[in-house]
Amino acid sequence: MKRRSGFAVMGQLIGLVRPLSGYMALAVTMGLAGHLCAAFLTVFGVYALCTVVGLAAPLGMTGLFIAMAVMAVMRAALRYGEQACNHFIAFKLLALLRDKVFRALRALAPAKLEVRDRGDLISVITSDIELLEVFYAHTISPVLIAVLFSGVLTLFIGQYHPLLGLLALGAYLCIGLVVPVLISRASGAHGLRFRTRSGELSSFVLDSLRGLSETLQYAQGARRRQELDARTRALVEEEARLKWTAGWGMSLTSALILLFDLAMLLAAAVLYRSGQVGFDGVLVPTVALMSSFGPTVALANLGGTLQNTFAAGNRVLDILQETPLVRDVTGQAPTEFTGADAQRVSFAYNDQPILRDLSVQVPRNQILGIVGRSGSGKSTLLKLFMRFWEVDKGEIRLSDRPVGQVNTVDLRRMEGYVTQQTHLFQDTIRNNLRIARLDATDAQIEEACRKASVHEFILSLPQGYDTPVGELGDTLSGGERQRLGLARAFLHDAPFLLLDEPTSNLDSLNEAVILQSLRREREGRTVVLVSHRQSTMRVADRVVTVDAGRCS
């Protein structure tokens, strides 16, 4: 994970506000006006008191009470408007941010996402992005409002005497700048550790739920629960440190406000005794300062929460700024499938060599069988044909063109890929199949299922093709899921079909049906068939063996 300073994270998050800068300006304007109304409500009360004791005031008693009534009403309306604008900005930006994150994940998949922790990704997409609502709704405009408000109050108090104005400025800088910086530094890396451990806990819980049956089978429930408790305690301890720091900051802020109020009263009294200010020069600056710490206190209270927010922002920015290993290709001439081959291909996962100088020809309209031991690189070769990764050396070619020069849209249209584990979404069978071809008719879906020897099974279900498959297809057996994966491939109807152990979860009878379908549907189709079963290889026109990353 890339470590960024708080200011760097803040700068990049603020940059996202640019499309909504008009709303932000409106929020700041209303917020500033609202805080000024609140502060001068008490100041005008002091003016009314001065009028009672015979001192000069800017307005008469009637005018002061009218002004105070107007400011009280305006304060409520402006506060509502400010919050409405801030939350509109926040929720709009969160929607835009989620869109950016999903686009980034799409670009990173599958090469960089295969090794990422799924639970941690879910934590980033959900809770981390949601936490940024605090930054956009309760940080950006409050900072700008506090700066402008402090400037106005400093000038107002300073008109009675420059020394009082400087004292007010010092108070605002101390409360609104020094205290948040101190709290932020005291928080240290607790915020980042809290967000990281939160993601790890989410991953652990997700892993535990998926492996619940195995945990029960091998009586590991107590050990799993102990580890869950330990992770939860560690997360609670990190949160407690953050809360303690925030509480300490609030106590420090309250103490400093009291000290500055007393200092303003003392300084004004000294100036009054020396004749440099009148009695109103004691009352008005002191009351004005006492009633003006609202915006700066909001900044002081941000010191503890910002560490958590910046940690979340840092994790989100990691995804947005991560460089994909493989980028989509556009702008190339359209390509039609005429064959495929691998030429002296070498490839490694994280410096672990998988394929070494491998060459293989896949003739058009033939079925090429690939056999080999587990870990020899058979599945990796199929993924390279799909251009899920770039080769380290050599070249993967489709239609006599490097796959890196084939439009990604054309590549996905020409290729159909069936893996050993078929992923099913929590939806109906029909919708899971239609992923392969969104405009497919019911007749086309049923025909694809007949080819995959799954149509009769689907009709036996209470809701037929509208039967929900459950989470990850848990209501179906492994063989049934695999046949639905084959049905997807038949529905996609690509000329180049890549099958990775397509019959591994099927019995001999269903395997024979699938192989007969491949024979029937082979016209106009090129197939690469990976399997450990010798019986599956009977359908192949040619069989090659991959051993130690080489073909023979």
HEC secondary structure over 389-436: CCCCEEEEEECCEEHHHCCHHHHHHHEEEECCCCCCCCCEHHHHHHCC
Residue with tokens 């036996």: 460
CA dist 387 and 406 (Å) reads 10
pLDDT greater than 90 at residue 401: yes
Q: How confident is the model at residue 57 (pLDDT cuts 50, 70, 90)?
A: low
In this predicted structure, what is the pLDDT of residue 163? Answer: 94
Lowest-confidence region among 69-73, 95-99, 116-120, 471-475: 116-120
Angle CA(200)–CA(201)–CA(203) in degrees, nearest 5?
Answer: 65
pLDDT greater than 70 at residue 406: yes
What's the gap between Cα 43 and its chain centre? 46
3-state helix, strand, coil in the chain (%, to 5): 65, 10, 25
Better pLDDT: 262 or 179: 262
Give the tens place of pLDDT for each residue, 268-302: 999 999 989 888 888 889 999 998 888 888 777 66
pLDDT greater than 60 at residue 1: no
DSSP class of residue 389 equals: S
Residue 475, CA distances (Å) to 221, 308, 424 in order: 24, 40, 11
Q: Are 378 and 552 in contact (CB under 8 A)?
A: no
Residue with tokens 């069989």: 543
Helices and strands (H and E) in the chain: how many: 20, 10
pLDDT greater than 90 at residue 491: yes
Q: How confident is the model at residue 525 (pLDDT cuts 50, 70, 90)?
A: confident
Give the tens place of pLDDT for each residue, 184-227: 777 666 666 777 787 788 778 878 887 888 888 888 888 889 98
Q: Are 478 and 395 in contact (CB under 8 A)?
A: no
Angle CA(431)–CA(434)–CA(435) in degrees, nearest 5?
Answer: 95
Lowest-confidence region among 17-31, 73-87, 128-142, 455-469: 128-142
Amino acid identity at 31? G
In this predicted structure, what is the pLDDT of residue 214? Answer: 83
CA dihedral (477, 479, 480, 486) positive or negative? positive
Give the tens place of pLDDT for each residue, 73-98: 999 999 899 888 888 888 888 888 88
Sheet with 542-547, side-by-side order of all strands: 415-418, 496-500, 526-530, 367-371, 542-547, 550-551
In this predicted structure, what is the pLDDT of residue 240? Answer: 82
Q: How confident is the model at residue 110 (pLDDT cuts 50, 70, 90)?
A: confident
CA dist 370 and 381 (Å) reads 10
Nearest residue to 387 via CA among 409, 370, 367:
409
Lowest-confidence region among 211-215, 242-246, 407-411: 242-246
